[in-house]
Amino acid sequence: MSEQQDTVSGVAGRYASALFSLAHDERKTDEVAAALSTFDALIAESEDLQRLVRSPIYSAREQVKALTAILERAGVGGIAANFIELVASKRRLFAIRDMIRDYGLLYDVARGVAHAEVTSAATLSDANVAALKETLRAASGGKDVRLTAKVDPTIIGGLVVKIGSRMVDGSLRTKLNAIRIAMKEVG
């Protein structure tokens, strides 16, 4: 459980931890994860729902009423629906996507899934992503790896890989900076 507490923090982390604990006790972590994922996708697809979630103009009562209808229509029920409605009633709906993200992190930790963030100078091909996942799986003791790829042309080449609290910077920019510093020390 201490590894879970290191993964999430703040208001979103506290709410996500409480939800995960409840879902775990009820043996419904998979069901809650799927329902939260569905709701997060709805938010991502709808500007109106994004406004409802973020805007302080709507009262808690209006948000709960609207969300109840949306959740019912989307087939989101049970613990996840009750949680989302509770968050709205407590005026914390603006942080729901962070709560969903943090629940996902806790869920992945419980299932032994590692998260990796890879930054490259250009978009990685599917074959490169697959090879990188396999390498990271081996480096993380056989854990499944969920990979997030970013592109940052300023690193010039190579990769910057973060997995858990570890980071490996194999970027060309970093290597060139190290050479520049070494040359200054010599001269």
How confident is the model at residue 185, as a pLDDT? 86
pLDDT tens string 47-95:
999 999 999 999 999 999 999 999 999 999 999 999 999 999 999 999 9
Count of other CB atoms within 10 angstroms of residue 134: 11
Rounded distance between C-alpha atoms, residue 63 and residue 56, angstroms: 10
Count of other CB atoms within 10 angstroms of residue 52: 19
Largest CA distance in the chain: 71
How confident is the model at residue 186, as a pLDDT? 81
Average pLDDT of span 9-24: 95
Average pLDDT along the chain: 92
Rounded distance between C-alpha atoms, residue 129 and residue 118, angstroms: 9
pLDDT tens string 111-142:
989 889 999 999 999 999 999 999 999 988 88
Confidence check: pLDDT of 21 > 70: yes
pLDDT tens string 159-186:
999 987 789 999 999 999 999 999 988 8
How confident is the model at residue 165, as a pLDDT? 79
Domains, the chain:
2-109 (1.10.520.20), 113-186 (3.40.30)
